[in-house]
Structure 1
Amino acid sequence: MSQGLEKTFHLFAISGKTNATGKEMTSKDFSKLCKECNILESGCTSTDVDIIFAKVKAKGAHVITFEEFMKALDLLAVKRYPEIPANESIAATHKLVEGKEPAAVGTTMSQGLERTFHRFAIYGKTNATGKEMTGKDFSKLCKQCNILESGCTSTDVDIIFAKVKAKGAHVITFEEFMKALDLLAVKRYPAIPAIEAIAAIHKLVEGKEPAAVGTTKAVTGGAVDRLTDTSKYTGSHKERFDAGGKGKGLAGREDQVDNSGYVGAYKGTGTYDQKTKK
């Protein structure tokens, strides 16, 4: 739950900014979050949001930290759900906020990730819809998007795939794929906070396309060089190439009948007519 809330905090804190770290949230960001997460209902107003923001922030500060954001949600919860116990209202408010993304930014990012999911899901198949991804597709994506580094292994990928898929299923949906990325993020980037790790792994995946696998490449070096060096050929094989290594074609593969009237290998071939003319 905390990771999902921290992800939302981070995304709204950096929304529309170029140099934001995502560790602090302005009043404007907080108001936007409350509005887009449907907190401003059932008697909870924008005035409540402003008052609670001012209440939780540090004295003299103009921003709030994630810890202060969590306190603000708890205070808003009783405004949003006044008819139920405080602990239940807090859980309900957290559910409204968890995993949400700002509309303008989230749509673009989600589309880029969904496009990648679709492309890997249909790659190499003729009748695939692109709505479901196999374990093989998922492994290929993780490898080609450089997720398998920094301690994140193919075993981790297999375990997480099995964890997010539905019971008895052999494929995952896009929603399950997103959950899998979040779990892989902490494996791929263990040294940074979860929210930053998730953002980083999304960046690795977003907009990527599957690369062709198994393309034949020319092999050179070692034994190959020796096998293709015509200067080292002997016997009938040598006769198929000229001194420069160029193939003679048909002349190098078949015996040609010499009807010139001269003895084979005679060096004066073609000189008889010149002599008789004299």
Structure 2
Amino acid sequence: MVDLADIAPIFSSYSASASGELDGRSFTKLCKDCSLFDRSFSSTDADLIFAKVVPKGQRRITIAEFEKALSLIADRRGCSQDDVMQRVADGAGPALEGTKAEAVRFHDDKTTYTGTHARGGPESVPKGYGHVPQTAMKPRRSLSRTSSGACALPNLLNASTGSSSGTVGTVERKLSRTGSNGWIRPITPLEKAATISRREGCGLLENVFEAYCSPGQTEMDGKGFTKLMKDSKIVGSRFTTTDADLTFAKVVSKGLRRIDFLQFKAALLIVAERKNIEAGDVFEAVARQFAGPQLCGTRTESVRFHDDISTYTGVHANGGPDAVAKGTGSAQLASFRM
């Protein structure tokens, strides 16, 4: 005869909480694993029996309430309670099932590997620290193209200027910092932008920033930043207006819709990284827009019946109708009444 002590280990193995109590889902799982389901006892019946024995306002049952549930299961199945308890005692605990992936020849058969995977695969290194040497990297493309007669603006981040002032040299020495976990993290664009002072020519850049701010505002919104990128000829195939919006979203403070001048410089550094060009070229292209936003409109086409006065007919051929105040038309004339 099976007693309560024999089914206690099985009850404990299905308990989902530290208190050793059983919830409704685990109770249904226990009934399924112990092969208690048949034509007269289904999973719906298990949920109804659990609802009968669980205390009001609770969601789990104890082992004493579990014994009452087994008695109700025996009545539902039409067998003795000892038979049901014996099935539970013979159980081996929760039965875990999963889907096994099918065999894929191009993944499982390593003889079919090609390229770098045939030689062991690419190197696994921390994000941002590849194995490509600096000499093998693709050279950065210059953005500024000055005609022979134009006066070129100075490179705002020129290394020679930085060596005299010492600021850009500080930027290069702070390209990486050590985090709390020991890894070397790159300096953020906002931190790098804070090291760029007016000595690098940011005075002209600040004037451009103020010109593209909305009237009465000292900060720039996303619309003005995208307009500046278009006027500077930065927007192209490798940097679209969507990229400009994403760049603005990276530097803008959470909950705000405008950026200050420091965040603006950080955005330009992100633009240079996105286009794979020197940051000085981006600063120089933006600084050329000191005249402010370029406003352009659509010019209407010529319309012969409007532009050629000789084609006018009717009252328009005689100078057009009288232009008088509203409500005081020519109908007031006595000659018109006759």
- TM-score normalized by structure 2? 0.37
Choose 1 or 2 for highest CA Rg. 2
- TM-score normalized by structure 1? 0.44
Instruction: Report which of the two has the higher share of helix.
Output: 1
